[in-house]
Structure 1
Amino acid sequence: MKSILFDLDGTIIDPKIGILKSIQYALEKLGAAVPGIEDLRWCIGPSLRVSFPKLLGIEDKATIEEAVRLYRERFKPTGLYEYEPYPGAMDGLAALASEYRLFLATAKPQVYAAEILRHMGAIDHFEKVYGDDMEGTFTDKGDLLAFILEEQGLAANSCVMIGDRHHDIQAATRHGMPSVAVSYGYALDGEFDDHPPTAISHGFHDLSDRIGEILAA
C-alpha cells in the first residue's frame, strides 16, 4: 500500500487564530513590536525557531527560546484549539485512509499535532503522527521526512507529500518524493516558482484525483 504524508497547518486545518494570536502574545511579553494578524500570515508553516529570529531581528538563541516558551504559554491551553478543519477534510481523510497509509508530517510539535487530530476526531485515519520535538530537532522538514522514510521503511517514490508551503515541497524534492501543493493554504505569491510541486490541488474535493494521477504514472 502506498503512503501519503500530510502537512497539518494550512493543509488539513486553518490554524490562523491560534498560531498568530500566540505569536502576538509572545512578542508583547518580550516588549517587541507586535504586527497585525494579517501581517503575520507568513509565520504559518515554518518552525517558530525560523519565524521568531525574523520577527525579532535577532539570532540570540536564549531570546528565541524565550519567545518559543512564551508562545507555548498561550498556545497550549488556548491556541491549540483555535482552528478550523478545511471543507471536506474529515470525509477526505477517511476516504484516503481506505486506500493509502496516512502519516502526518508537521513542523508543529508532535504532542500538539496529535492532540489537534484527536480533538477533531481524525487521529484514527493516521498510521502515525510525526512532528517536531520541543527542542527543535526537526526544524528542517526535509530532516523530518528522512526520519519518517527510514523508520517506516518507505520508498520516496511510493509516497506523496501534501502541503501548502514551499518547505513541504522542498522537503519532498530533496528525497525524490512527488508532492501536491494545496492552493487554499498560506503560500505567498510565487512561492513555488523555484520548487514547483508535482501537482496542485484546490481542495479535498480533487485531492484524491491528484494523488491517484501521480501514483499511477
Structure 2
Amino acid sequence: MNYKLVIFDWDGTLMDSIARIVSSIQASAQYCQLTIPTVQSVKDIIGLSLPKALNILFPGASQTDMAVLREQYKYHYVEADLTPSPLFEHALTLLKALKDEDKLLAVATGKGREGLQRVFSATQTEHFFHASRCADEARSKPDPQMLLSLIAELGVSAEQAVMIGDTSHDMKMAQAAGIDSIGITLGVHDREILTQYQPVAIVDSLAQLQQLLLPSRVLAKA
C-alpha cells in the first residue's frame, strides 16, 4: 500500500463528531417543529452536503423550513451543542507519521469550507494537508468530483491515491473515481456495510491504519 496521496474524510474518520452532528440535526428539527429523525437516519446522511442531507431527512419541508434548518444546524453544532468532538485517538500521530514519510495528504469532506476551516483551527491540523475539498466547492459525495479534482491539483494518478472513510458515501465516491479505498469503523457504518463497496482493507482504529500505510515504520520500530 505504497500510496503517494492519502485522502481523508473528516467526520467519523479523523474526528469523533458523529454524536454532535446527530444531536444538532435533531435539535434543529425540534426547533422547526418537524418530525425528529432517528439517530440511524441521521447517521446515514453524514458525509453528504448539508442541503442534500436535509432533503433526504425532511422531504416534505418547505424552502423556508430548509433555510431555518440550515441556520439552526449551524447554531447548534457551533455554539449550542456541547457534545465533545475530539480527534480520534492516534490521529495526530498518524498525520505526523505520514507527513514525515513525505506523503501527500488531503481532505474530502461533507463539511462546508467555513466548517472545515473552523475544525482545522480548533485542532491545529491544517498544516498537515496539501489540499482539501468541501461540499460547497464540489458536487456532494458520492459524486467523484472531489477526488478527481484533488488528484488533478496534486499531480498524481488515481492508482497512486487512496480514500479513507467511515461511510458508504466515501466508498462509493472512491469507486466512481477509480481510486482505492480503506474503510474505518470508528464512525457511521460498520464492517458489513463498508465491505459491500470492495475497499482494499477495513480497519478499526487509526493505529491499525498506520500499520497498513506505513509498514516500514512499524518494522523499523520492531
Q: TM-score normalised by the shorter chain: which range applies?
A: 0.7 to 0.9
CA shift, 1:60, in A, is: 5.3
What is the SS of the residue equivalent to 1:10? coil
Q: Does 1:22 align with 2:13?
A: no
Q: Does 1:123 align with 2:126?
A: yes
CA shift, 1:160, in A, is: 0.9
Greater shift in the superposed pair: 111-120 or 161-170? 111-120
CA–CA separation in structure 2 for the residues paired with 1:4 and 1:189: 21
Residue in 2 aligned with 1:103?
Answer: 106
* Percent identity over paired residues: 23
Q: Which runs of 5+ in 1 are unaligned?
A: none
Does the 8 Å CA contact 2:19/2:83 hold for their aligned counterparts? no
Measured at CA, do residues 118 and 71 of structure 1 come closer, stay the same or move farther in structure 2, by a change above 3 Å? Answer: same
CA–CA separation in structure 1 for the residues paired with 2:38 and 2:196: 29
User: After superposition, where does 1:149-188 map in structure 2 within 5 Å?
Assistant: 149-188=151-190
Q: Which amino acid aligns with 2:26?
A: Q
Residue in 2 aligned with 1:89?
Answer: 91
Larger fraction in strand: 1
CA shift, 1:55, in A, is: 2.2
CA shift, 1:152, in A, is: 2.5
Q: Does 1:205 align with 2:207?
A: yes
**TM-score, length of structure 1 as denominator length:** 0.84
Q: Which runs of 5+ in 2 are unaligned?
A: 216-222
Q: Does 1:192 align with 2:194?
A: yes
CA shift, 1:2, in A, is: 1.0
CA–CA separation in structure 1 for the residues paired with 2:107 and 2:82: 17
User: After superposition, where does 1:15-94 map in structure 2 within 5 Å?
Assistant: 15-35=17-37, 37=39, 40-58=42-60, 63-79=65-81, 82-94=84-96
Residues 130-175 of structure 1: CA distance to partner in whole angstroms, max 9, x if unpaired? 2122xx7432342211222223232111011100111111111112
CA–CA separation in structure 1 for the residues paired with 2:174 and 2:40: 28
CA–CA separation in structure 1 for the residues paired with 2:25 and 2:84: 13
Aligned residues between the structures: 211
CA–CA separation in structure 1 for the residues paired with 2:171 and 2:181: 6
CA–CA separation in structure 1 for the residues paired with 2:66 and 2:150: 27
CA shift, 1:200, in A, is: 1.1
CA shift, 1:210, in A, is: 2.1
Cα RMSD of the aligned pairs, angstroms, is 2.6
Measured at CA, do residues 78 and 124 of structure 1 come closer, stay the same or move farther in structure 2, by a change above 3 Å? Answer: farther
Residues 102-125 of structure 1: CA distance to partner in whole angstroms, max 9, x if unpaired? 111111112211221221122211
Does the 8 Å CA contact 2:167/2:188 hold for their aligned counterparts? yes
CA–CA separation in structure 2 for the residues paired with 1:116 and 1:51: 20
CA shift, 1:34, in A, is: 1.9
